[in-house]
Amino acid sequence: MVQSGKIIPAETIVRMLRKIIYSGDGRKKFILSSFPDIIDQAKEFERSCATISAIIYTTQDSADATVEIKNNNLTLFNIDALFQKEHRLKTMSKWDDQKYKELIGGSKVNWSIVLGCPYQGKSTLASTVGKHLGFKLIDWNSIEKEVKDSLGTADEPFEGKVPLDKIENAVAKLIENDAKNGARIQYIFDSFPH
């Protein structure tokens, strides 16, 4: 398509990116270079692939680095204007891990929930994300089983559905214990029935 001078549709590019991003090879963060170029590409990527946390422009080393938008008319398909209006246009003068986490909001996330149908890999995903991002994993199903075991005995196991409030109390107690120990912990839930 490129060799014949045709414009590659945003859907085609995003379909190729999806294969990379969701390949399951263990990578958890992605930096897109030279994409998206226009608003249509950004919208298609966010509609059918993932949210773009920020567009980061490199600047000269300056404390008050800014990006000046010359024309913020959205009808011109100006991606800079769109992301500036949504407060997702950022600047960075040199690579800085802490600054990067601040820009994409990584340091502001306290809770994450991984949902999906059974046998779709959500437990593996939650565990992997938890390890790589330093989140504490809360496995809802394991806690439900512990609560169920506590409601019965070895001779007379509890039968029936475990009351939701009992599971919620067990989760709340776990989080309260972490807070009592002074730990500022970020959590990721593997399943969440609400």
The DSSP result for 3-60, as a single string, is TTTPPPPHHHHHHHHHHHHTS-SS------SS---SHHHHHHHHHHT-----EEEE--
- Pair (99, 115) in one structural domain: no
- Pair (75, 18) in one structural domain: yes
Task: Report yes or no on 2 lying in a domain.
Answer: no
Q: Could you give the percent of the chain with pLDDT greater than 90?
A: 12
- Pair (100, 125) in one structural domain: no
Look at residue 12 and tell me whether its pLDDT is greater than 90: yes
Radius of gyration from C-alpha coordinates of the chain: 22
- Pair (26, 88) in one structural domain: yes
Residue 89's pLDDT is what? 79
- Pair (17, 98) in one structural domain: yes
- Pair (95, 57) in one structural domain: yes
- Pair (22, 99) in one structural domain: yes
- Pair (119, 95) in one structural domain: no
How many structural domains does the chain have? 2
Residue 138's pLDDT is what? 87
Instruction: Tell if the pTM clears 0.75, that is, is over it.
Output: no
Which backbone phi and psi does 89 adopt, to 5 degrees? -95, 120
